[in-house]
Amino acid sequence: MTADDLSLLAIPLALLYLAALACIYRILLSYRTAQGAIAWIIALVGLPYLAVPMFLLFGRSRFGGYIKARRMGDQALTTLLDQFEQQTTSISNPGHEHFSDELQVLCKLSRQPFTNDNHCTLLRDGEATFEALFEAMEDARHYILMEFYIVRSDKVGQRIKAILERKLAQGVQVWFLYDDIGSVFLSRQWLNELAAAGARIASFGKGNVRRRRFQINFRNHRKLLVCDGQIGFVGGINLGDEYLGTMMDQEPWRDTHCRIEGPAATGLQLAWLEDWHWASSLRPELNWHPKRVKKGDQQVLILPTGPADTWETCTLFFLNSINNARTRIWIASPYFVPDFQIMNALQLAALRGVDVRVLIPEKSDSRLIRLAAYSYLVQASQAGIGIYRYQPGFMHQKVVLVDDRYAAVGTANLDNRSMRLNFEITAITTSPDFIHSVDSMLREDLTQCQLMTESDYQERSILFRLSCRAVRLLAPLL
C-alpha cells in the first residue's frame, strides 16, 4: 500500500472518529444512565464503524423532533388543558377529601387533573373489547379518533375499516394514527381504501420526515380510541385477530382494556391531539366540553408518558406506585426486564411487608425477554417477591393494582423500552368498583399461574443460566 493510499484512507478514518467524538459529546450532555453511556462510549471508541450508525439509529434517549413540535403547539395545548381543568370537577386540589401527595405527583407527571363523574368499564379480553369498540364507533355522531401501535388488515382490521367507511359516508370525521414500525405489515391497500373513503391518516414515524431525523428507536406504543370527545378506550389491545384466540397456528392472547365515559375521555383526546400534531402539524377542531356521567362518579386520571417528557415519567409512575404501596402491589406485564431502580423498589416493598406479585407470561413472543426474566428470580425470591407465570396462552395485559386505593390499565410494560423509549398511556382510577373488578380479574388470572422460585433458575443448566445473564446485559435494548 502506497503513501497516497494511506493518506486517502486517513481522511475517511479521521471523519469517522470525528463523528464518534460528536456522538460522545452528545452522550455526555444528555445521558440518563451511567451504564448505558459507558457502553456507548466504549463502542464508539473501539468500533466506530459499527457504533456510529447504530448510535444515530438507536442511541438517542430524547425524542428531539417531538419536543420541538410540542413547543410549537404548546400554547394551544396549554389553553386546552386549562379549559379542561376549569370545566371538570377535579380532585387534584389541596383540601379535597381525596387529595394526597401521591395523587398530586401523578397529576404533575400527567399534566392533567384527576376528574370526577366518569364511568369506567373493565374489558377483560379481546372479544369484550372489540365488541365495545365496534359499538362506540357505530354510535359516533361527529368524529372518531384512533391511535394504535399495531393495526392488521385481518378480519378485525377489515371489520374496523368497514365501520369507519360507513361512518365516513354518514358524515362522521375519522382521524387515524398508527405506528409505522408496529404496523409494518399493514397493507397499503387497507390504508389507501380508508383514505379514499375520506379518513385522515397519519403515520407516527413517517408522517413528519423533516422532524424525525433517524429517530427510529422511538415507538408510539399507545392504543386508544375516542368518539365525539365523550367515550374513550385505552389498554393493551391492538387491532388484530390474535386477541380473539381464533388463529389456528397461534396461542390465544390474554389482554385487558377499559372503556371510559366522561371527562377523562378528554384526557385521552389531549394525548391523541399532541401525537397527531407531531405526525401531521395539524390541529383538528374537536369537542372540548366533556359530559359528566351521572351513573358513574368515578375518579380517573389519564397519564401519557414518553421520551419527550421532562422526566422519565413512566419510570416515576412505577416508582411512585411501588414506594407508596402499603399492603400490596400487583403488576401484570408481558415483559419483565426491570432496571435496578424498579427492582430495588420492588425488593424494598417486599421487605417492608407489602404483598408484591408480578404476573408474566409462560409463553412469550420474545425468547430473549423470556430468558432475561429468569435472571431476576434469585433477587425476587430472596426478597419475597412473587413472580407468577401465566400458563394458558400469551398474557399481554399491562395492569397495576396498588392496595385498594387505585388501579391502572394501560400500555406500559416493565422494561426499558416502555420506561424510556416508547410513548405510552395509562388510565388510573381510585374507584372502589373498578378496583374490585381489577382485583377479581387478577385473582382469576393467578389461579392459572405457576409461582416461580429461586430453584427454577438455580437448578437449570449452567449454559441456561449463562444465557439468561448474558441476555440481561441487553436489557437497555430489549
Catalytic residue positions, numbered: 221, 223, 228, 396, 398, 403
Between 188-196 and 155-169, two packed helices, what is the crossing angle to 10 degrees?
Answer: 10
Q: Which three cell numbers stand for residue 97?
A: 377529601
Q: Which single residue is written with the C-alpha cell 456522538?
A: 23
Q: Measure Cα distances from 5 to 1, 18, 157 in Å.
A: 6, 20, 58
SS3 354: coil
Show the beta-strand stretches assigned E in 341-429: 355-361, 386-390, 394-395, 399-402, 406-410, 422-429
Q: Which single residue is written with the C-alpha cell 457502553?
A: 39
How far, in Å, CA of 326 to CA of 406, rounded? 12
How far, in Å, CA of 91 to CA of 9, rounded? 66
Q: Which three cell numbers stand for residue 101?
A: 401527595
Q: Which single residue is written with the C-alpha cell 361527529?
A: 142
Q: What's the number of CA atoms in the CB half-sphere (13 Å) around residue 52?
A: 14
Among the listed residues 240, 236, 225, 224, the one whose alpha carbon sits nearest the alpha carbon of residue 153: 240
70, 56 in Cβ contact below 8 A? no
SS3 394: strand
- The residues near 399 (Cβ < 8 Å, ≥ 6 apart) are 256, 330, 331, 332, 407, 408, 409, 438, 441, 442
Q: Which single residue is written with the C-alpha cell 379514499?
A: 196
Q: In DSSP terms, which residues pair with 41 in a beta bridge? A: none
Among the listed residues 148, 109, 34, the one whose alpha carbon sits nearest the alpha carbon of residue 306: 109
Among the listed residues 439, 114, 109, the one whose alpha carbon sits nearest the alpha carbon of residue 256: 439
Antiparallel, parallel or unpaired: β 298-305 and 115-123: antiparallel
How far, in Å, CA of 301 to CA of 111, rounded? 10
